[in-house]
Amino acid sequence: MASHGIKDQVAIVGMGCTPFGERWDKGADDLLIDAAHEAYASAGVIQDDIDAFWLGTMGSGVSGLTLSKPLQIDYKPVTRVENMCATGSEAFRNACYAVASGAYDVVMAIGVEKLKDSGYSGLTGSRPPSDGTDSSLTAPATFSLLAPAYAHKHGLDEETMKEVLTRIAWKNHKNGALNPRAQFRKEVAKETIAASPLVAGPLGIFDCSGVSDGSAAAVIVRAEDAHRYTDKPLYVKALSFSSGPATGALDPSYDYTTFREVRTSAEEAYKQAGISDPRSQIAMAEVHDCFTPTELVLMEDLGFAEEGTAWKEALNGTFDLDGDLPVNPDGGLKSFGHPIGASGLRMLFECWLQLRGEAPPERQIDSDRTLGLTHNLGGQPGACVSFVAVVGSEVG
């Protein structure tokens, strides 16, 4: 028994991504139609060419009908997928496997979330009836647990920690300012970020990703068919998923400075893709920066920085757009918000643009590396699911 991966067996041949934001003008149906048709056009296909669909949404609908009804899909299989904040990536992963298995020739993975209709701050969700003892902490609070633990372990004082977190937000907003699809398209001064009202622990409102609506989609085919659709396909090098035993809050050996699920999913992805040194082999990464300390810890868990050094690298600009390894060149969740089902596919969309040299020149990464990584996380420190994909513009 072993995991084998499907390196270079399937390829993305078209993508679509709506503008993310407070889309008061569009419902989930509209966003799905927009993303799907942009992807069809990008791949040069029509809807009837798609053999099967994977729809990722956490709460904007249930069942395949959420997609087949607005798109008027004629009696094709539509699988609705949910895997917390990694929902969009999970739709993509399963769609890729369906193609790799030979079951279908052309499939679509599409994700959507319509969050702004709830009227609430932050994310909400319904839970099954419980005994009332579950934590009532909000997402920013659970992720903010990372900050004092990381600072304590690696000897950072409060001010330095705040400076690190602030710089991560500043960098992602700087990138997002260059992206017409982003929810927030303005640079934000470090002073503004650092002085923003507190939401949880040391996290101010600017340490948190926004709440937005959006949708993104990909058309996937067998690698050998890819050039029938595009000259520049993106090959899937690795897909990994890790769902943990959720024992962080039970296990005294967990120190809240890492995501074990991310480490295991990253290791698995690098094995599948044949990557030995991600820091030097990957051209760019889109990671799950739901909150600034998350991105900090991810840099170490994904192997982009040695343990205990990510804070220095973040301050030094290693992960800036012009740094050694650009992280979240599209602006990340910080600039896009986090419409849950869409985020994973939105990350792939940036790889699609960057690795094919089609990002707008002001944020096009100049690199001779050909690999991009996306990372998507759901849950909270100590109890989460983690997804890592590696895609590349060349076979091999």
Q: What angle do the packed helices 292-301 and 158-176 form, to 10 degrees?
A: 90
Q: CB 195: neighbour CB atoms within 10 A?
A: 11
- How far, in Å, are 55, 108, 109, 113, 269 from residue 79 at the CA level? 6, 10, 10, 16, 24
Q: Please state, in angstroms and rounded to a whole number, the distance separating the CA atoms of residues 389 and 307.
A: 22
Residue for token digits 């937000």?
169
Given the residues 173, 288, 338, 375, select the one marked as catalytic. 338
Cβ(71)–Cβ(254) below 8 Å: no
Q: What is the DSSP letter of 22?
A: -
Given the residues 85, 96, 290, 384, select the one marked as catalytic. 85
80, amino acid identity:
R
Strand locations in 146-302, DSSP E? 198-200, 203-204, 213-222, 234-243, 282-286
Which region among 114-122, 215-223, 273-281, 303-311 touches other proteins (by CB under 8 A)?
Answer: 114-122
| CB 135, min distance to other proteins, A | 6
Which region among 53-61, 90-98, 125-133, 226-234 touches other proteins (by CB under 8 A)?
Answer: 125-133
Among 66, 144, 166, 242, binds other proteins (CB under 8 A): 144
Burial classification of residue 55, based on how many CB atoms lie within 10 Å of its CB (0-12 exposed, 13-18 middle, 19 or more buried):
buried
201 binds other proteins (CB under 8 A): yes
| Sites for other proteins among residues 221-280 (CB under 8 A) | 245, 247, 249-252, 254-256
| Sites for other proteins among residues 321-380 (CB under 8 A) | none
Cβ(42)–Cβ(216) below 8 Å: no
131 binds other proteins (CB under 8 A): yes
Nearer to other proteins, 146 or 389 (CB): 146
Nearer to other proteins, 72 or 136 (CB): 136
Q: Please tell me whether residue 378 adopts helix, strand or coil conformation.
A: strand
Nearer to other proteins, 99 or 203 (CB): 203
Residue 85 falls in the annotated catalytic set: yes
Token pair of 319 as six digits: 């992960």
396 binds other proteins (CB under 8 A): no
145 binds other proteins (CB under 8 A): yes
Q: CB 258: neighbour CB atoms within 10 A?
A: 21
Nearer to other proteins, 11 or 199 (CB): 199
Among 3, 63, 101, 135, binds other proteins (CB under 8 A): 135
| CB 134, min distance to other proteins, A | 9
| CB 131, min distance to other proteins, A | 4
Among 3, 63, 101, 121, binds other proteins (CB under 8 A): 121
124 binds other proteins (CB under 8 A): yes
| CB 155, min distance to other proteins, A | 13
Which region among 103-111, 147-155, 165-173, 315-323 touches other proteins (by CB under 8 A)?
Answer: 147-155
Radius of gyration of the chain (CA): 19
152 binds other proteins (CB under 8 A): yes
129 binds other proteins (CB under 8 A): yes
Phi-psi region of 342 (alpha: psi -120 to 50; beta: other; left: phi over 0): alpha
Q: Of the candidates 111, 40, 11, which has an alpha carbon nearest to the alpha carbon of residue 352?
A: 11
Burial classification of residue 192, based on how many CB atoms lie within 10 Å of its CB (0-12 exposed, 13-18 middle, 19 or more buried):
middle
Among 45, 110, 115, 149, binds other proteins (CB under 8 A): 149
Cβ(251)–Cβ(125) below 8 Å: no
Q: Which residues are catalytic?
A: 85, 338
Which residues are near other proteins by CB under 8 A?
Answer: 119-122, 124, 127, 129-133, 135-138, 140-142, 144-149, 152, 197-201, 245, 247, 249-252, 254-256, 382
